[in-house]
Amino acid sequence: MFEAHTLAIVFAALMGLAIILYAILDGFDLGVGILLPLGDKEKSDPMIASIGPFWDANETWLVFAIGLLLIAFPEAHSYIFKELYLPTAFLLISLVLRGVAFDFRAKAAISHTATWNRVFKVGSLLAAMSQGYMLGMYIMGFQSTVIAYSFSLLSAFGVAAAYSYIGACWLIMKTEADLQVRAVAWAKKSGIICFIGIVLVSVINPLINPGVYDKWFESSIMYLMLPLPLLCFVLFIYSFFQLKKLPTQDDSYCWVPFACAATIFLLCFIGLAFSFYPDIVPNKLTIWEAASAPESLSFILWGAIIVVPVIFAYTVFSYRVFWGKVQELRYH
């Protein structure tokens, strides 16, 4: 059906789509978990209710991305998770903690709700920082140096701040009254940290990866990509000024900060993808070297053609059904 060269690109694109959708969708519910105020039931309940219909379905995209990596690029899967074994274990533990805490806070005695809120918050923070650490190690090419570990820890805090930022923007769109005011304050603070983190990664990445520097500053298509950082900067500034106007009496434009945050996530991902393409393991494996046999990819592609639209359709449907301001959290 397709040549081996084309099949590798198709599956890399599908995996990229799954990763960015996961980062945006599960990013905001991880951010809500990180921001969860302990000991304040009036705010924690509507925050949990705002992500209740979506949080577990959002993780589908992570499962899909890892599944594609395993099936389409098995050599890269083996290498990456061998290098990231420990943070991957922490990520899995944190996701289990979140799932258990989310269900138990509803079923346990009221006196135990605060405990499960803490578990949910810790699980969300640990998941975000694990992902950030893994991203940092990936950018550093899995080097075992003090600089690589330091950068990865910085990346861990940066991703946690980024998730907090998009989570706060989600709450601005989904909540009202005092909680919305508080979410605006959270978005302003976390947005500044997120901006600083993106700037640091944008500066450090070309400095430590000569190939990335050549792509951004010496390649023939750099003029097409250089507007990306500028657009990111403009979106941060625009979002900040919008946050200063919120909340409004008619609650108009409450969706703007979230749209800006999601677009910033998308632009950052495009920038990273451009930096490393065609490598799937930086400086070690390209997508063609790591790809499965063309016959296998051709067979799997038919399944992807069916599965991807179905996942996308039920995701859109669930968000359409539960759109609008969050209602009072009730368990039947």
DSSP labels, 28-68: HHHHHHHHPPTT-HHHHHHHHHHHTTTHHHHTHHHHHHHHH
d(Cα 301, Cα 303) in Å, to the nearest integer? 5
The helix-helix angle for 177-208 and 113-139 (nearest 10°) equals: 20
Sign of the CA dihedral with 186 first, then 192, 195, and 196 last:
negative
Helix (H, G, I), strand (E, B) or coil at 247: coil
d(Cα 9, Cα 27) in Å, to the nearest integer? 26
What kind of architecture, by CATH, is found in domain 4-321?
Up-down Bundle (1.20)
- Whole-number pLDDT of residue 249: 72
- Using one digit for the tens of pLDDT, what is the confidence trace for 268-281? 999 899 888 888 99
- Using one digit for the tens of pLDDT, what is the confidence trace for 27-78? 999 999 999 988 777 778 888 888 888 887 888 899 999 999 999 999 999 9
In the chain, which residues have pLDDT < 70? 1-2, 106-111, 219, 327-332
- Whole-number pLDDT of residue 332: 46
Residue 331, CA distances (Å) to 45, 108, 142, 166, 309 in order? 11, 12, 45, 27, 32
Among 54, 48, 22, 24, smallest CA distance to 35 is for 48
- Whole-number pLDDT of residue 28: 93
- Whole-number pLDDT of residue 110: 64
The domain segmentation of the chain, as residue ranges, is 4-321
* pTM of the complete model beyond 0.95: no
- Whole-number pLDDT of residue 129: 95
